[in-house]
Structure 1
Amino acid sequence: MTSEYVLQDQPHRKVVRVGDTIRRPVQPWTPTVHALLRHLQAVGFPYSPRPLGYDEQGREVLTFIEGESGPRSWAKVVDDQGLSAFARLLREYHDATAGFSPPDEAAWADSVGGYGDEQVICHGDFGPWNVVWQGRHPVGIIDWDFARPAPRLHDVAYALQYVAPFRDDTECLRWLHFPESPDRRRRLERFCTAYGLATTVGIVDAVIDRQRQDIALVRRLASAGQEPQATWVREGLLDELGRRVDWSRANRRLFE
């Protein structure tokens, strides 16, 4: 019998590795996400896990992507090569969602309207921790729970929060693996260029707006009893997120 290795063990979610597969609890949106992952497989996008159905315990089964992710991924986006690769990966993913037709009864973690012409299927949580790396090269994207139809800028702004980053120097040096204070304006421009944006006009406003949206999302999910958001709110995360918005507004000169 193949052993299970616990990768994440939280009250709301236990994620385990079994051989070359990942087993995760099923959510209402899991069938929709599996449809998306099957589309990505069909169009030859190599960076997403492949859905393999469900196991005897009712958990979803996905292929395991070998490499470094989670906390170890933060250091990968500090240098220019890693930052650009991270941005190009996001663009390649967005382009790969073209032509995807969500199921008639599609469900998403964050309820949204229809799938419009100006939208792609955003990952919804495209941060360094959800990219798998082998050496200096990204090889996978994981944790698709917040995938949803939205404009491309929804993911771009979210990612820039963490890789520009929209954080003070103390956090950059202590937690985000920067050896010195980052040149945030240059990093924002490099990310946008690598992604393929023609201009950075309006990007700072988009990031601040996305930060505000994240606060509203956490509050909304917590009110519905969703975890881990309910626990985050009890532990004071909304205050921390509010301080991040305040910092971004007060320091926008660092990015423009």
Structure 2
Amino acid sequence: MAHERVAVIGDRVYRPAGWWTPTVHALLRYLHDVGFTRVPRPLGVVDGREVLDFIPGDSGSAGWRRVVPEAGLRALARLLREYHQAVEGFVAPPDACWALANGPAGAGEVICHGDFGPWNIVWDGLVPVGLVDFDFAQPGEALDDVAYALGYVVPFCDDAQAMRWQGYDMPPDRAERIAIFADEYGLATVDGLVEAVIRRQEMDGVYVRALAERGLEPQRTWVAQGFCEELAARAQWSRDNRALFRSSPSD
């Protein structure tokens, strides 16, 4: 599948459709039906491109600085909690096809967003008004989404990257940011979160390779260019620097 650009024309968004699109559209319709309207409304598929309504606001790279202040970090965690609450009742059909899985959620699972980072949030100032890009939604434990988000918003990277690329004016207090996110999401403890992030980072390479094997771009190019090795290095950095994130003896 070729990697195509997303186009916004008027109040509609045109994105490349995939084998997962019908199932994702069913999910988006369900979310609207239960009142979680901060996701795009699906309008169909035309000439291999899915059509969605446009949610106005700032997204993409603009999202990074929105999660630096505590208010933005809490708002992000709250959005994830509210999404997980809204999606609990969604029952996908047995033949549901996701990008990285098949079938409905199992016992104790929800349909995770799968790519819950600040770039996939539509922001109005520090207020998240939209959640977009459900291409990698799939059944899983809600903690998977939490761990994925924490990897980017704590962040699980060195100070130089956090300050140069992610908008921090000073080295972040990572343990405090984990605690803030966990509190706003509604977790009773931060125990185990660091290890959950590392496990989720380790899965990134597995997912990229799986999508590349199915011919998806840009994942196929990423594999050819050695990006999976970079992903493995990120997880190794997190393992080597656990002390930066530790907020309890058990972590």
* TM-score above 0.5: yes
Corresponding residue to 1:52 among 35, 43, 64: 43
Cα distance between partner residues in 2 of 1:114 and 1:32: 10
Aligned residue in 2 for 1:165? 155
Conservation of the 8 A alpha-carbon contact between 1:125 and 1:155:
yes
- Is this contact kept in 1: 2:150–2:156, CA < 8 A? yes
Task: Give the aligned partner of residue 219 of structure 2.
Answer: 229
CA contact (8 A) 1:173 1:180 kept: yes
Q: Which amino acid aligns with 1:244?
A: R
Equivalent positions of 1:13-24 (< 5 A) are 13-24=4-15
Q: CA offsets per residue over residues 56-115 of structure 1, 9 Å max, x none?
A: x34211010000000011000001000000000001001101211113421000024652
The CA distance in 1 between the partners of 2:2 and 2:24, in whole Å, is: 22
Distance 1:176 1:233, change over 3 A: same
Q: Letter of the aligned partner of 2:3 in structure 1?
A: H
TM-score (norm 2): 0.95
1:119-176 CA distances to partner (integer Å, 9 max, x unpaired)? 1110000011000001121100111100111100110000000001000001001000
Q: Could you list the runs of 5+ residues in structure 1 that have no partner in the other structure?
A: 1-9
Counterpart Cα distance in 2 of 1:209 and 1:105 = 28
For 2:201, give the aligned amino acid.
Answer: Q
Runs of 4+ off more than 6 Å: none
**SS of equivalent to 1:182:** coil
RMSD, aligned CA: 1.4
TM-score (norm 1): 0.93
Which moves more between the two structures, 99-108 or 79-88?
A: 99-108
2:13 aligned with 1:26, yes or no? Answer: no
Letter aligned with residue 63 of structure 1: D
Partner amino acid, structure 2, of 1:167: C
Q: 1:206 to 1:47 in 2, by over 3 A?
A: same
Whole-Å Cα distance in 2 between the matches of residues 59 and 248 of structure 1? 38
1:14 to partner: Cα distance: 2.2
Count of residues paired in the alignment: 246
Partner of residue 84, structure 2: 94
Q: Distance in 2 between matches of 1:112 and 1:217?
A: 14
Q: Equivalent of 1:155, from 120, 145, 169?
A: 145
Once the two structures are TM-superposed, the CA of residue 255 in structure 1 deviates from its matched residue by 0.8
CA contact (8 A) 1:35 1:103 kept: no
